[in-house]
Chain A
Amino acid sequence: MYEIRIHSRGGQGGVTAARMMASAAVKDGKFATACPFYGAERRGAPIVSFVRIDDHPVRIYSQIKKPDMVVVLDPTVMDTVNVLDGLKKGGEIFINTHEEVQFPEQFTVHKADLTGIALRENLVVAGSPILNTPVIGALAKLGLFTPESGTKAITETFADPRNVAAAKEAYNEVK
């Protein structure tokens, strides 16, 4: 089983990202679940969502304590949240940033400027750049699911072709 914890803020689309990730994995023939943790938070507050991908049906409902991967959609949550909490040794980090970032050496760090991509594609809703479709492209590049399944998961959710374009940009940009 591969367990992913997504850090974002309420309203940034972290929950939808989790659903599209699980959906893409299912299209690849895997089993997957996506569960947001619904706390007392509201729009703008740091939130976490969980995705589990496995070769067998997922029977776990509790929260992910020891993720294999951490996805940071909004790096500003790191001011108040330890996003590395419980991350397995050798675990992977994907972070949305255009800046240089430092993490302990035991982790593999990937990054792409999803916010910049969203702004270039003019993917902005209510003043906030849309991060959940470009992140699907980035995570496809990291091998969580195939790019084809990622694209299908996006088009099932969003009709606007700019979402797929943003995902392709992130796919090409992620390091």
Chain B
Amino acid sequence: MSEKLMMSTGNKAVAAAVKMAKPTVVAAYPITPQTEVIETIADYVGSGAMDARYIPVESEHSAMTACIGASITGVRVFTATSSHGLLYMHEMLHWAAGARLPIVMGQVNRTLAPGWNIWAEHSDALSQRDTGWLQVYVSTVQEAYDATLMAFKIAEDNRVLLPVMINMDGFLLSHIMQPFEMTEPGDFIPPLNLPQKIDVNDPKGYGAMSPADIHFTFRYDMEKAMKNARTVIAETEAEFAKRFGRSYAPVEEYLCDDADVVIVAMGTLGKEAEVAADLLRKEGIKAGVMRVRWLRPFPLDMKVEGKELVVIDRDYSFGFGGVIAGEIQARYPGAKIARVIAGLGGQEVTYEDMAELVRTRKIGTEFWFGIPKEEQ
């Protein structure tokens, strides 16, 4: 490995990427396990390493509101949160997306109470799935850094102009230390040019009364922007790979070409699943992994035909099922899916566990990992 590598947590890598992206305003409220992100940024601002206005606020609702107010003036804006903090922003998440503001957020995935639990789960971000934010889920410290840099470019592209949420698993990724390269982005992220920015010399307004005909158009335009985002994400990831040598796709495939069975998962589970696939291949089972990175916009070109899928949801929609399995089934009606619920509340799920979930899969059923089979 090269001299350029340094050890960092996921949290610090996100903060380092934000420093590189040079936002004008950061407004945030601390919450475990996100705290290190904004502590580090506050240090950068305090020491002069980062020329930004850091606005400490009294709540996450205010954090997002401050971000919206700043973003409307056409400047680059960042915030970070987790779990209950994200939920406390809920109303303003819709507002940020509806106002077409390219705010970027670091989101550390953590379980929701009760009972009190600070460990990884995806229910927090998935409960904000329909707010109009783009959502990407990362699996390594390097990817957290790279995805944060790309998030600004994607959000601010005038074909998109929607906010982006970068999700990483609480503690598993936010607090792990891995070697990573703090690549200088150079001119990778062009200057922000918000077309409808508020300027005191050219007054405009946001959020005026909008009757149905206009409102309907606003929402249709948001979905057009989401569709455009697929193109912009592809272009951005291709340019990133060309410039910096690290390539990403909306769905990261591992050993999928000849696979009979594929584990589908997000975040750290999706990365560790690669080790499960290696293990299964040694046993003669042709296994692969699809790690879903971009959940919104949802990937439309997953190659699910002729394969069985073991979809691991680190989330649950009560009265329905796992969110990811449900979305894949809806978009790929012919998909053969064994639905697994695992990792809730930071439940330990190892690559050996995942290999066993593949060996014992039953297509068309839902299995809660850790609950005895006879009780389900």
- B1 adjacent to A29 (CB under 8 Å): yes
Q: A19-B7, A61-B172 are in contact. Are A31 and B179 (CB under 8 A)?
A: yes
Tell me, in angstroms, the Cα distance from A132 to B118 when the chains sit together: 27
- A38 adjacent to B171 (CB under 8 Å): yes
A36 partner residues in chain B, CB cutoff 8 A: 175
- B176 adjacent to A26 (CB under 8 Å): no
Nearest-CB residue, chain A, relative to B273:
A59
Q: Mark B169-212, 1 if CB is under 8 A from A, else 0.
A: 10111011111000000000000000000000000000000000
The answer, yes or no, to whether A78 is at the interface (CB within 8 Å) is no
- A61 adjacent to B7 (CB under 8 Å): no
- A35 adjacent to B176 (CB under 8 Å): yes
Tell which of B45-53, B69-77, B255-263, B348-356 binds the partner. Answer: B348-356
A→B interface (CB under 8 Å) = 18-19, 22-23, 26, 29-36, 38, 57-63, 65
Listed by A's residue number, 6 A-B pairs whose Cβ atoms lie within 8 Å are A22-B179, A31-B179, A33-B176, A34-B7, A61-B173, A63-B350
Tell me, in angstroms, the Cα distance from A65 to B118 when the chains sit together: 22
Q: How far is the CB of B2 from chain A (nearest CB, A)?
A: 9
Nearest-CB residue, chain B, relative to A38:
B171
Tell me, in angstroms, the Cα distance from A165 to B254 when the chains sit together: 46
Q: How far is the CB of B368 from chain A (nearest CB, A)?
A: 18
6 closest Cβ pairs, A-B complex = A62-B350, A61-B268, A34-B177, A35-B176, A23-B7, A26-B179
A59 partner residues in chain B, CB cutoff 8 A: 271-272, 274-275
- B177 adjacent to A62 (CB under 8 Å): no
The answer, yes or no, to whether B300 is at the interface (CB within 8 Å) is no
B179 partner residues in chain A, CB cutoff 8 A: 22, 26, 31-32
Tell me, in angstroms, the Cα distance from A124 to B171 when the chains sit together: 29
Tell me, in angstroms, the Cα distance from A19 to B8 when the chains sit together: 9
A34 partner residues in chain B, CB cutoff 8 A: 7, 176-177
The answer, yes or no, to whether B5 is at the interface (CB within 8 Å) is yes
- A26 adjacent to B5 (CB under 8 Å): yes
Tell me, in angstroms, the Cα distance from A63 to B5 when the chains sit together: 24
B5 partner residues in chain A, CB cutoff 8 A: 26
- B271 adjacent to A61 (CB under 8 Å): yes
Tell me, in angstroms, the Cα distance from A43 to B348 when the chains sit together: 24
